[in-house]
A and B are shown apart, each in its own frame.
Chain A
Protein backbone atom coordinates (compact mmCIF):
# COMPACT_ATOMS: atom_id res chain seq x y z
CA UNK A 1 0.00 0.00 0.00
CA UNK A 2 1.05 3.56 -0.64
CA UNK A 3 2.32 6.24 1.72
CA UNK A 4 -0.19 9.07 1.53
CA UNK A 5 1.99 11.81 2.96
CA UNK A 6 3.26 12.74 -0.51
CA UNK A 7 0.51 13.86 -2.88
CA UNK A 8 2.91 13.62 -5.83
CA UNK A 9 3.35 9.86 -5.21
CA UNK A 10 -0.39 9.17 -5.61
CA UNK A 11 -0.51 10.90 -8.98
CA UNK A 12 2.65 9.07 -10.10
CA UNK A 13 1.06 5.74 -9.19
CA UNK A 14 -2.13 6.61 -11.06
CA UNK A 15 -0.06 7.52 -14.13
CA UNK A 16 1.70 4.16 -13.77
CA UNK A 17 -1.67 2.42 -13.77
CA UNK A 18 -2.74 4.40 -16.85
CA UNK A 19 0.40 3.30 -18.70
CA UNK A 20 0.25 -0.31 -17.62
CA UNK A 21 -3.33 -1.45 -17.14
CA UNK A 22 -5.33 1.01 -19.16
CA UNK A 23 -4.14 1.65 -22.65
CA UNK A 24 -4.99 5.16 -23.79
CA UNK A 25 -4.22 6.02 -27.36
CA UNK A 26 -0.77 7.45 -28.17
CA UNK A 27 -0.59 11.02 -26.83
CA UNK A 28 1.16 13.93 -28.61
CA UNK A 29 2.78 14.92 -25.27
CA UNK A 30 2.86 13.36 -21.75
CA UNK A 31 -0.45 13.73 -19.87
CA UNK A 32 -0.81 16.36 -17.16
CA UNK A 33 -2.80 15.66 -13.96
CA UNK A 34 -5.52 18.05 -15.13
CA UNK A 35 -5.85 16.68 -18.68
CA UNK A 36 -9.26 15.24 -19.69
CA UNK A 37 -8.83 11.46 -19.76
CA UNK A 38 -11.96 10.90 -21.86
CA UNK A 39 -10.60 13.25 -24.51
CA UNK A 40 -7.38 11.22 -24.35
CA UNK A 41 -9.31 8.05 -25.23
CA UNK A 42 -10.56 6.58 -21.94
CA UNK A 43 -13.54 4.32 -22.77
CA UNK A 44 -16.24 3.12 -20.37
CA UNK A 45 -14.74 -0.38 -20.33
CA UNK A 46 -11.28 1.03 -19.60
CA UNK A 47 -12.81 3.09 -16.79
CA UNK A 48 -13.81 -0.14 -15.03
CA UNK A 49 -10.25 -1.50 -15.36
CA UNK A 50 -8.86 1.79 -14.05
CA UNK A 51 -11.26 1.75 -11.10
CA UNK A 52 -10.39 -1.84 -10.15
CA UNK A 53 -6.63 -1.19 -10.43
CA UNK A 54 -6.85 1.93 -8.24
CA UNK A 55 -8.93 0.10 -5.63
CA UNK A 56 -6.39 -2.74 -5.52
CA UNK A 57 -3.33 -0.46 -5.51
CA UNK A 58 -4.52 1.88 -2.74
CA UNK A 59 -6.65 -0.57 -0.74
CA UNK A 60 -9.80 1.52 -1.08
CA UNK A 61 -13.34 0.99 -2.34
CA UNK A 62 -15.09 3.63 -4.43
CA UNK A 63 -18.37 4.66 -2.88
CA UNK A 64 -21.33 5.65 -5.12
CA UNK A 65 -20.60 9.28 -4.26
CA UNK A 66 -17.23 9.01 -6.02
CA UNK A 67 -18.27 6.61 -8.78
CA UNK A 68 -19.09 9.06 -11.52
CA UNK A 69 -17.75 10.53 -14.72
CA UNK A 70 -16.31 13.54 -12.95
CA UNK A 71 -14.02 11.47 -10.71
CA UNK A 72 -12.48 9.64 -13.64
CA UNK A 73 -12.14 12.70 -15.84
CA UNK A 74 -8.54 13.46 -14.77
CA UNK A 75 -5.65 12.15 -12.70
CA UNK A 76 -6.01 15.13 -10.35
CA UNK A 77 -9.68 14.24 -9.69
CA UNK A 78 -8.74 10.62 -9.08
CA UNK A 79 -6.07 11.71 -6.60
CA UNK A 80 -8.73 13.68 -4.68
CA UNK A 81 -10.96 10.60 -4.59
CA UNK A 82 -8.14 8.35 -3.33
CA UNK A 83 -7.26 10.77 -0.51
CA UNK A 84 -10.90 11.19 0.55
CA UNK A 85 -11.67 7.47 0.44
CA UNK A 86 -8.52 6.57 2.35
CA UNK A 87 -9.34 9.11 5.09
CA UNK A 88 -12.87 7.81 5.47
CA UNK A 89 -12.02 4.13 5.28
CA UNK A 90 -13.38 2.10 8.22
Chain B
Protein backbone atom coordinates (compact mmCIF):
# COMPACT_ATOMS: atom_id res chain seq x y z
CA UNK B 1 0.00 0.00 0.00
CA UNK B 2 1.83 3.10 -1.25
CA UNK B 3 0.51 5.44 1.44
CA UNK B 4 1.50 3.12 4.31
CA UNK B 5 4.77 4.91 5.02
CA UNK B 6 3.11 8.33 4.95
CA UNK B 7 0.35 7.11 7.30
CA UNK B 8 3.05 5.89 9.68
CA UNK B 9 5.26 8.99 9.47
CA UNK B 10 2.39 11.43 9.89
CA UNK B 11 0.44 9.28 12.43
CA UNK B 12 -2.64 9.90 10.31
CA UNK B 13 -5.70 7.90 9.36
CA UNK B 14 -5.26 5.71 6.24
CA UNK B 15 -7.79 7.58 4.11
CA UNK B 16 -6.61 6.10 0.83
CA UNK B 17 -7.13 2.53 2.03
CA UNK B 18 -10.60 3.29 3.38
CA UNK B 19 -11.61 4.89 0.10
CA UNK B 20 -10.48 1.77 -1.73
CA UNK B 21 -12.35 -0.45 0.75
CA UNK B 22 -15.53 1.56 0.29
CA UNK B 23 -15.23 1.40 -3.49
CA UNK B 24 -14.96 -2.38 -3.23
CA UNK B 25 -17.94 -2.56 -0.87
CA UNK B 26 -15.76 -4.12 1.85
CA UNK B 27 -17.31 -2.27 4.79
CA UNK B 28 -20.65 -3.97 4.11
CA UNK B 29 -19.19 -7.30 3.00
CA UNK B 30 -20.16 -9.23 6.13
CA UNK B 31 -23.71 -7.88 6.22
CA UNK B 32 -26.26 -10.46 5.01
CA UNK B 33 -27.62 -10.05 1.49
CA UNK B 34 -31.08 -9.52 2.95
CA UNK B 35 -29.83 -6.16 4.26
CA UNK B 36 -27.92 -5.18 1.15
CA UNK B 37 -24.51 -6.59 2.09
CA UNK B 38 -22.42 -9.28 0.41
CA UNK B 39 -23.11 -12.02 2.96
CA UNK B 40 -19.39 -12.79 3.01
CA UNK B 41 -18.42 -15.73 5.26
CA UNK B 42 -16.27 -15.01 8.29
CA UNK B 43 -13.21 -16.70 6.78
CA UNK B 44 -13.32 -14.19 3.88
CA UNK B 45 -13.22 -11.32 6.36
CA UNK B 46 -10.29 -12.93 8.19
CA UNK B 47 -8.46 -13.45 4.89
CA UNK B 48 -9.05 -9.78 4.03
CA UNK B 49 -7.49 -8.71 7.36
CA UNK B 50 -4.43 -10.82 6.53
CA UNK B 51 -4.09 -9.34 3.08
CA UNK B 52 -4.60 -5.76 4.27
CA UNK B 53 -2.07 -6.34 7.07
CA UNK B 54 0.59 -7.07 4.47
CA UNK B 55 0.13 -3.64 2.92
CA UNK B 56 -0.65 -1.40 5.90
CA UNK B 57 -1.14 -2.48 9.52
CA UNK B 58 -3.31 0.53 10.28
CA UNK B 59 -5.71 -0.09 7.42
CA UNK B 60 -5.97 -3.73 8.48
CA UNK B 61 -6.71 -2.88 12.12
CA UNK B 62 -9.32 -0.25 11.23
CA UNK B 63 -10.98 -2.80 8.94
CA UNK B 64 -10.81 -5.47 11.66
CA UNK B 65 -12.27 -3.19 14.34
CA UNK B 66 -15.10 -2.18 12.01
CA UNK B 67 -15.85 -5.85 11.26
CA UNK B 68 -16.10 -6.63 14.99
CA UNK B 69 -18.93 -4.10 15.28
CA UNK B 70 -20.62 -5.44 12.13
CA UNK B 71 -20.45 -9.01 13.46
CA UNK B 72 -21.98 -7.84 16.74
CA UNK B 73 -24.87 -6.17 14.93
CA UNK B 74 -25.47 -9.08 12.57
CA UNK B 75 -25.37 -11.70 15.34
CA UNK B 76 -27.17 -9.79 18.09
CA UNK B 77 -29.29 -6.96 16.69
CA UNK B 78 -31.26 -8.20 13.69
CA UNK B 79 -34.23 -8.77 16.01
CA UNK B 80 -34.53 -4.99 16.30
CA UNK B 81 -36.13 -2.93 13.52
CA UNK B 82 -33.91 0.10 14.16
CA UNK B 83 -30.74 -1.98 13.83
CA UNK B 84 -31.98 -3.83 10.75
CA UNK B 85 -32.56 -0.47 9.07
CA UNK B 86 -29.17 0.78 10.14
CA UNK B 87 -27.44 -2.34 8.83
CA UNK B 88 -29.03 -1.62 5.46
CA UNK B 89 -27.69 1.96 5.67
CA UNK B 90 -24.20 0.70 6.51
CA UNK B 91 -24.27 -1.54 3.44
CA UNK B 92 -25.70 1.09 1.12
CA UNK B 93 -23.52 4.00 2.25
CA UNK B 94 -20.43 2.03 3.37
CA UNK B 95 -20.54 3.57 6.85
CA UNK B 96 -17.61 3.07 9.23
CA UNK B 97 -18.34 1.91 12.78
CA UNK B 98 -16.07 2.50 15.80
CA UNK B 99 -16.34 1.09 19.32
CA UNK B 100 -16.25 2.61 22.79
CA UNK B 101 -15.74 -0.17 25.30
CA UNK B 102 -13.13 1.23 27.69
CA UNK B 103 -13.43 3.88 30.36
CA UNK B 104 -11.14 5.71 32.78
CA UNK B 105 -12.72 4.08 35.84
CA UNK B 106 -12.64 0.45 34.63
CA UNK B 107 -8.92 0.12 33.95
CA UNK B 108 -9.16 -1.61 30.57
CA UNK B 109 -11.66 -4.26 31.72
CA UNK B 110 -14.35 -4.08 29.03
CA UNK B 111 -16.72 -6.19 31.13
CA UNK B 112 -17.14 -3.49 33.73
CA UNK B 113 -18.62 -0.03 33.17
CA UNK B 114 -18.89 2.98 35.40
CA UNK B 115 -21.18 5.02 33.17
CA UNK B 116 -24.82 4.07 32.89
CA UNK B 117 -27.68 4.59 30.47
CA UNK B 118 -29.82 7.43 31.80
CA UNK B 119 -33.42 7.76 30.69
CA UNK B 120 -35.35 11.04 30.60
CA UNK B 121 -38.39 12.10 28.59
CA UNK B 122 -38.30 8.92 26.51
CA UNK B 123 -34.68 9.48 25.40
CA UNK B 124 -31.49 7.86 26.64
CA UNK B 125 -28.12 9.43 27.34
CA UNK B 126 -24.67 8.18 28.32
CA UNK B 127 -21.68 10.17 29.60
CA UNK B 128 -18.39 8.25 29.41
CA UNK B 129 -15.03 9.66 30.50
CA UNK B 130 -11.53 8.67 29.44
CA UNK B 131 -12.54 6.23 26.70
CA UNK B 132 -10.04 5.12 24.09
CA UNK B 133 -11.69 5.34 20.67
CA UNK B 134 -9.90 4.40 17.46
CA UNK B 135 -10.69 6.51 14.35
CA UNK B 136 -13.43 8.44 16.16
CA UNK B 137 -13.15 11.39 13.76
CA UNK B 138 -13.75 9.18 10.72
CA UNK B 139 -16.45 6.98 12.22
CA UNK B 140 -20.07 7.31 11.07
CA UNK B 141 -21.42 5.50 14.13
CA UNK B 142 -20.14 4.23 17.48
CA UNK B 143 -21.01 1.12 19.47
CA UNK B 144 -20.90 2.22 23.12
CA UNK B 145 -21.07 0.07 26.25
CA UNK B 146 -22.57 1.22 29.54
CA UNK B 147 -24.36 -0.15 32.57
CA UNK B 148 -27.97 -0.97 31.77
CA UNK B 149 -29.34 1.61 34.26
CA UNK B 150 -28.02 3.81 37.10
CA UNK B 151 -28.84 1.09 39.66
CA UNK B 152 -27.21 -1.73 37.63
CA UNK B 153 -24.07 -3.64 38.64
CA UNK B 154 -20.77 -2.84 36.93
CA UNK B 155 -20.99 -6.06 34.88
CA UNK B 156 -24.63 -5.63 33.89
CA UNK B 157 -23.95 -3.89 30.59
CA UNK B 158 -25.72 -3.05 27.36
CA UNK B 159 -24.44 -1.75 24.03
CA UNK B 160 -25.84 1.30 22.24
CA UNK B 161 -25.29 2.03 18.54
CA UNK B 162 -25.21 5.81 18.17
CA UNK B 163 -24.78 7.85 15.02
CA UNK B 164 -21.77 10.17 15.06
CA UNK B 165 -24.08 13.25 15.01
CA UNK B 166 -25.63 12.06 18.28
CA UNK B 167 -22.23 12.08 20.02
CA UNK B 168 -20.22 14.90 21.57
CA UNK B 169 -16.55 13.95 21.65
CA UNK B 170 -13.91 15.87 23.61
CA UNK B 171 -10.38 14.64 22.85
CA UNK B 172 -8.28 14.26 25.97
CA UNK B 173 -4.94 13.01 24.62
CA UNK B 174 -3.05 12.63 21.35
CA UNK B 175 -2.03 9.34 19.72
CA UNK B 176 1.73 9.53 19.19
CA UNK B 177 3.09 6.01 19.50
CA UNK B 178 5.98 3.80 18.42
CA UNK B 179 3.81 1.96 15.90
CA UNK B 180 0.21 1.44 14.76
CA UNK B 181 0.26 5.21 14.42
CA UNK B 182 -2.66 5.48 12.00
CA UNK B 183 -5.46 4.04 14.14
CA UNK B 184 -5.71 7.40 15.91
CA UNK B 185 -6.68 5.68 19.16
CA UNK B 186 -7.10 8.80 21.23
CA UNK B 187 -8.75 9.22 24.61
CA UNK B 188 -12.02 11.10 24.69
CA UNK B 189 -14.79 12.23 26.97
CA UNK B 190 -17.99 11.19 25.28
CA UNK B 191 -21.60 12.14 25.78
CA UNK B 192 -24.38 10.75 23.63
CA UNK B 193 -28.12 11.35 23.37
CA UNK B 194 -30.12 8.70 21.53
CA UNK B 195 -33.36 6.80 21.22
CA UNK B 196 -34.02 3.76 23.47
CA UNK B 197 -34.51 1.73 20.27
CA UNK B 198 -30.77 2.10 19.60
CA UNK B 199 -29.85 -0.17 22.53
CA UNK B 200 -28.96 -3.62 21.21
CA UNK B 201 -31.44 -6.31 22.35
CA UNK B 202 -28.82 -8.75 23.67
CA UNK B 203 -26.86 -8.03 26.84
CA UNK B 204 -23.25 -6.99 26.41
CA UNK B 205 -22.21 -10.10 28.39
CA UNK B 206 -23.74 -12.18 25.59
CA UNK B 207 -22.36 -10.04 22.76
CA UNK B 208 -18.88 -10.03 24.28
CA UNK B 209 -18.59 -13.77 24.91
CA UNK B 210 -20.34 -15.01 21.77
CA UNK B 211 -19.02 -12.50 19.24
CA UNK B 212 -16.73 -9.63 20.25
CA UNK B 213 -14.09 -11.75 21.96
CA UNK B 214 -13.64 -14.41 19.25
CA UNK B 215 -14.05 -12.01 16.30
CA UNK B 216 -11.64 -9.49 17.82
CA UNK B 217 -8.91 -11.97 18.54
CA UNK B 218 -9.19 -13.76 15.21
CA UNK B 219 -9.34 -10.64 12.99
CA UNK B 220 -6.57 -8.86 14.89
CA UNK B 221 -4.39 -11.98 14.77
CA UNK B 222 -4.90 -12.17 11.00
CA UNK B 223 -3.94 -8.49 10.63
CA UNK B 224 -0.80 -8.95 12.75
CA UNK B 225 0.09 -12.05 10.79
CA UNK B 226 -0.18 -9.99 7.61
CA UNK B 227 2.46 -7.61 8.96
CA UNK B 228 4.77 -10.53 9.75
CA UNK B 229 4.13 -12.06 6.34
CA UNK B 230 5.07 -8.82 4.58
CA UNK B 231 8.23 -8.60 6.68
CA UNK B 232 9.20 -12.14 5.63
CA UNK B 233 8.54 -11.32 1.98
CA UNK B 234 10.87 -8.32 2.20
CA UNK B 235 13.52 -10.40 3.99
CA UNK B 236 13.21 -13.10 1.34
CA UNK B 237 13.92 -10.55 -1.42
CA UNK B 238 16.90 -9.23 0.52
CA UNK B 239 18.34 -12.71 1.06
CA UNK B 240 17.59 -13.72 -2.54
CA UNK B 241 19.68 -10.84 -3.85
CA UNK B 242 22.72 -12.33 -2.12
CA UNK B 243 22.30 -15.72 -3.73
CA UNK B 244 25.08 -16.96 -5.99
CA UNK B 245 23.95 -19.86 -8.22
CA UNK B 246 25.94 -22.95 -7.33
CA UNK B 247 27.26 -21.31 -4.18
CA UNK B 248 26.37 -21.88 -0.53
CA UNK B 249 23.00 -20.70 0.77
CA UNK B 250 23.22 -16.90 1.07
CA UNK B 251 23.71 -15.16 4.42
CA UNK B 252 20.46 -14.94 6.34
CA UNK B 253 18.98 -18.14 4.89
CA UNK B 254 18.92 -19.92 8.24
CA UNK B 255 17.23 -17.04 10.04
CA UNK B 256 14.72 -16.68 7.22
CA UNK B 257 13.90 -20.38 7.44
CA UNK B 258 13.22 -20.03 11.16
CA UNK B 259 11.06 -16.98 10.61
CA UNK B 260 9.01 -18.76 7.95
CA UNK B 261 8.58 -21.87 10.11
CA UNK B 262 7.15 -19.83 12.96
CA UNK B 263 5.02 -17.80 10.56
CA UNK B 264 3.50 -21.02 9.23
CA UNK B 265 2.71 -22.23 12.75
CA UNK B 266 0.96 -18.95 13.52
CA UNK B 267 -1.01 -19.12 10.25
CA UNK B 268 -2.26 -22.58 11.25
CA UNK B 269 -3.41 -21.19 14.59
CA UNK B 270 -5.46 -18.46 12.95
CA UNK B 271 -6.94 -20.91 10.46
CA UNK B 272 -7.89 -23.35 13.21
CA UNK B 273 -9.48 -20.66 15.37
CA UNK B 274 -11.45 -19.34 12.37
CA UNK B 275 -12.84 -22.79 11.61
CA UNK B 276 -13.64 -23.35 15.25
CA UNK B 277 -15.62 -20.11 15.47
CA UNK B 278 -17.47 -20.85 12.23
CA UNK B 279 -18.29 -24.36 13.51
CA UNK B 280 -19.62 -22.97 16.79
CA UNK B 281 -22.00 -20.72 14.79
CA UNK B 282 -24.86 -19.99 17.19
CA UNK B 283 -24.28 -22.93 19.54
CA UNK B 284 -24.53 -21.02 22.81
CA UNK B 285 -23.08 -23.89 24.85
CA UNK B 286 -20.00 -24.09 22.65
CA UNK B 287 -19.50 -20.32 22.53
CA UNK B 288 -19.75 -19.95 26.32
CA UNK B 289 -17.58 -22.95 27.15
CA UNK B 290 -14.31 -22.45 29.00
CA UNK B 291 -12.50 -24.35 26.24
CA UNK B 292 -13.69 -21.83 23.64
CA UNK B 293 -12.82 -18.78 25.74
CA UNK B 294 -9.36 -20.15 26.49
CA UNK B 295 -8.81 -21.04 22.82
CA UNK B 296 -9.65 -17.52 21.63
CA UNK B 297 -7.56 -15.87 24.33
CA UNK B 298 -4.61 -18.18 23.66
CA UNK B 299 -4.74 -17.28 19.97
CA UNK B 300 -4.31 -13.60 20.77
CA UNK B 301 -1.51 -14.27 23.26
CA UNK B 302 0.41 -16.55 20.92
CA UNK B 303 0.10 -14.49 17.75
CA UNK B 304 0.76 -11.12 19.41
CA UNK B 305 4.08 -12.28 20.84
CA UNK B 306 4.89 -14.56 17.88
CA UNK B 307 4.76 -11.86 15.20
CA UNK B 308 7.38 -9.79 17.04
CA UNK B 309 9.66 -12.84 17.11
CA UNK B 310 9.09 -13.58 13.40
CA UNK B 311 9.88 -10.01 12.36
CA UNK B 312 12.92 -10.01 14.65
CA UNK B 313 14.24 -13.08 12.84
CA UNK B 314 13.44 -11.47 9.48
CA UNK B 315 15.42 -8.42 10.59
CA UNK B 316 18.42 -10.58 11.52
CA UNK B 317 18.16 -12.36 8.17
CA UNK B 318 18.06 -9.02 6.34
CA UNK B 319 20.87 -7.33 8.22
CA UNK B 320 21.31 -3.63 7.51
CA UNK B 321 18.89 -3.74 4.58
CA UNK B 322 16.18 -4.45 7.15
CA UNK B 323 17.51 -2.11 9.79
CA UNK B 324 17.67 1.02 7.61
CA UNK B 325 14.58 3.16 7.20
CA UNK B 326 14.94 3.60 3.45
CA UNK B 327 14.95 0.97 0.75
CA UNK B 328 12.47 -1.77 0.00
CA UNK B 329 14.01 -4.16 2.55
CA UNK B 330 13.25 -1.86 5.49
CA UNK B 331 11.49 -3.61 8.38
CA UNK B 332 11.30 -0.85 10.98
CA UNK B 333 7.64 0.01 10.43
CA UNK B 334 6.67 -3.67 10.50
CA UNK B 335 8.50 -4.27 13.77
CA UNK B 336 7.06 -1.13 15.38
CA UNK B 337 3.53 -1.96 14.28
CA UNK B 338 3.89 -5.57 15.50
CA UNK B 339 4.88 -4.40 18.99
CA UNK B 340 1.41 -2.90 19.42
CA UNK B 341 -0.15 -6.37 19.39
CA UNK B 342 0.72 -7.33 22.96
CA UNK B 343 -0.02 -3.86 24.33
CA UNK B 344 -3.00 -2.18 22.74
CA UNK B 345 -5.15 -4.84 24.29
CA UNK B 346 -2.91 -5.89 27.17
CA UNK B 347 -1.70 -9.49 27.27
CA UNK B 348 -1.27 -9.52 31.04
CA UNK B 349 -4.96 -8.86 31.59
CA UNK B 350 -5.88 -11.61 29.12
CA UNK B 351 -3.52 -14.03 30.83
CA UNK B 352 -5.06 -13.21 34.21
CA UNK B 353 -8.52 -13.93 32.79
CA UNK B 354 -7.29 -17.27 31.44
CA UNK B 355 -5.73 -18.13 34.79
CA UNK B 356 -9.05 -17.50 36.52
CA UNK B 357 -10.81 -19.90 34.14
CA UNK B 358 -8.26 -22.66 33.76
CA UNK B 359 -9.22 -24.65 36.90
CA UNK B 360 -12.50 -25.34 35.12
CA UNK B 361 -10.84 -26.54 31.91
CA UNK B 362 -11.37 -30.22 31.24
CA UNK B 363 -9.13 -30.53 28.18
CA UNK B 364 -9.93 -31.98 24.77
CA UNK B 365 -9.57 -35.70 24.17
CA UNK B 366 -9.69 -35.48 20.36
CA UNK B 367 -6.94 -34.11 18.16
CA UNK B 368 -9.46 -32.73 15.67
CA UNK B 369 -12.42 -31.56 17.79
Which A residues have a C-beta under 8 Å from some C-beta of B? 25, 38, 41, 43-45, 47-48, 51-52, 62-64, 67-70
Contacts and interface: CB of A to CB of B under 8 A. Distances in A.
Interface residues of B, number: 18
A26 B359 CA distance: 27
B155 A41 contact: yes
A25 B290 CA distance: 23
Contact of A67 (B156, B205, B359, B360): B360
B278 interface: no
A44 B285 contact: no
* Interface residues of A, dominant DSSP: loop
Contacts of B293: 44
A44 B357 CA distance: 8
Given A45-B353, A48-B359, A62-B362, 15 more contacts: A25-B156, A43-B111, A44-B209, A44-B293, A45-B356, A45-B357, A48-B290, A48-B356, A52-B359, A64-B362, A67-B289, A67-B362, A69-B284, A69-B285, A70-B285
Interface of B: 111, 153, 155-156, 205, 209, 284-285, 288-290, 293, 353, 356-357, 359-360, 362
Nearest to B155: A43
B153 A69 contact: no
B206 to A, nearest CB: 9
Contacts of A38: 205
A48 B155 contact: no
A68 B289 contact: yes
20 contacts: A25-B153, A25-B156, A38-B205, A41-B155, A43-B111, A43-B155, A43-B205, A44-B209, A45-B353, A48-B290, A48-B357, A51-B360, A63-B362, A64-B362, A67-B289, A67-B360, A67-B362, A68-B285, A69-B284, A70-B285
